[in-house]
């Protein structure tokens, strides 16, 4: 084992931190795709690295059992994994998997509850609008929302929530939730991902209604009447209200018809390659060095 084993994970963590903090000039749709891909691949790289090191640590403790381990799962050299590295890797990998399992269970339970409630308007005076994905989902609204908003404002709300459903934003949010469960340092990235999906739906609503100011006013009105924390599904006014309103009152973002796809494809290639290298980097380096020596 050498420090190259942890290089892909270190690069992925650095990339995730940079994307979480750096302001994006892309259209929110492309920002959401970049953040979701990066977060998911970083979590996979973390679990893969931990599993990889743990397997090789087990082979160090029981060399006779290593003969039954696939060659791709072993390091390219025969140096033992020290206890100071192997034990934390095993513990953290198990903890990460357990945290991801708990997050997935909570997410599924919340979705089941939302789908059960979506059959009729919620009997509350608080204005609520939530996009509930799935065959039995739809747009969940409250009686307070239907009563307090004008027809134009309701049109804005339904356009926004329909955008969430049409683009399956719950999958993006699930990637952020699972990534931050595996790696708590990814929580800022998950928060920015949630904001990006909300901005994406805001822009769709603004384009559909043709009135950006009306969308901004509706968001502010619902947010003031119903402040709430982010949940497992996309509510109309739940996060980044000030930033969303300011963006809607400004110039519409460019569609990035060329820049967006190119950056997304490039990011996918980089993150996918680094994640795959988590389990293969040692073998790749050893093969490269052997080939280089043979060439000489």
18-56 confidence digits (pLDDT tens) = 999 888 888 999 999 999 999 999 999 899 888 888 887
Considering only CA atoms, give the Rg of the chain: 23
**Across all residues in the chain, what is the average pLDDT?**
83
What is the reported pLDDT for 135?
77
The answer to whether residue 247 sits within a structural domain is yes
What is the reported pLDDT for 289?
45
The answer to whether residue 294 sits within a structural domain is no
Whether the per-residue pLDDT at 223 is higher than 70: the answer is: yes
Residue carrying the six token digits 């970049």: 34
The answer to whether residue 7 sits within a structural domain is no
The answer to whether residue 17 sits within a structural domain is no
Choice among 29-33, 184-188, 217-221, 233-237 with the minimum mean pLDDT: 233-237
The answer to whether residue 31 sits within a structural domain is yes
Q: Is the dihedral of CA 78, 80, 85, 86 positive or negative?
A: positive
* DSSP category for residue 230: -
What is the reported pLDDT for 164?
94
What is the reported pLDDT for 65?
64
pLDDT digits (tens, 9 = 90+) for 224-241: 876 554 555 556 766 688
What is the reported pLDDT for 165?
94
The answer to whether residue 116 sits within a structural domain is yes
Distance CA 115, CA 67 (A): 50
What is the reported pLDDT for 226?
64
Whether the per-residue pLDDT at 188 is higher than 80: the answer is: yes
Distance CA 252, CA 35 (A): 21
pLDDT digits (tens, 9 = 90+) for 100-137: 999 999 988 888 888 887 778 888 888 888 898 887 77
The answer to whether residue 161 sits within a structural domain is yes
% of the chain residues with pLDDT over 90 = 44
Distance CA 183, CA 21 (A): 16
Phi/psi of residue 23, nearest 5 degrees: -65, 135
Strand 138-141 with 234-235, pairing: unpaired
The answer to whether residue 280 sits within a structural domain is no
Structurally, how many domains does the chain consist of? Answer: 1
Containing structural domain, residue 171: 27-251
Whether the per-residue pLDDT at 284 is higher than 50: the answer is: no
């Amino acid at each position: 084992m050498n420090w190259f084993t942890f290089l892909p994970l270190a690069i992925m963590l650095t990339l995730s931190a940079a994307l979480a903090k750096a302001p994006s000039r892309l259209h929110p749709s492309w920002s959401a795709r970049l953040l979701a891909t990066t977060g998911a691949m970083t979590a996979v790289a973390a679990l893969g690295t931990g599993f990889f090191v743990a397997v090789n640590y087990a082979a160090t403790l029981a060399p006779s059992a290593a003969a039954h381990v696939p060659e791709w799962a072993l390091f390219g050299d025969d140096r033992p994994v020290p206890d100071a590295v192997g034990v934390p890797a095993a513990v953290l990998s198990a903890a990460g998997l357990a945290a991801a399992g708990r997050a997935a269970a909570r997410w599924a339970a919340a979705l089941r509850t939302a789908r059960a409630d979506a059959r009729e308007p919620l009997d509350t005076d608080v204005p609520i609008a939530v996009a509930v994905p799935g065959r039995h989902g739809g747009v969940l609204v409250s009686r307070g929302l239907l009563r307090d908003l004008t027809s134009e404002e309701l049109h804005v709300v339904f356009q926004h929530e329909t955008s969430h459903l049409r683009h399956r934003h719950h999958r993006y949010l699930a990637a952020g939730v699972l990534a931050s469960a595996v790696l708590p340092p990814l929580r800022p990235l998950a928060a920015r991902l949630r904001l990006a999906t909300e901005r994406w739906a805001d822009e769709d609503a603004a384009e559909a209604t043709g009135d950006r100011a009306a969308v901004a006013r509706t968001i502010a009105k619902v947010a003031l009447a119903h402040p709430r924390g982010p949940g497992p599904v996309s509510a109309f006014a739940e996060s980044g209200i000030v930033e969303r309103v300011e963006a809607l009152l400004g110039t519409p973002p460019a569609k990035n018809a060329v820049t967006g796809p190119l950056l997304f494809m490039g990011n996918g290639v980089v993150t996918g390659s680094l994640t795959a290298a988590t389990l293969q980097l040692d073998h790749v380096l050893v093969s490269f060095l052997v080939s280089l020596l043979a060439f000489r």
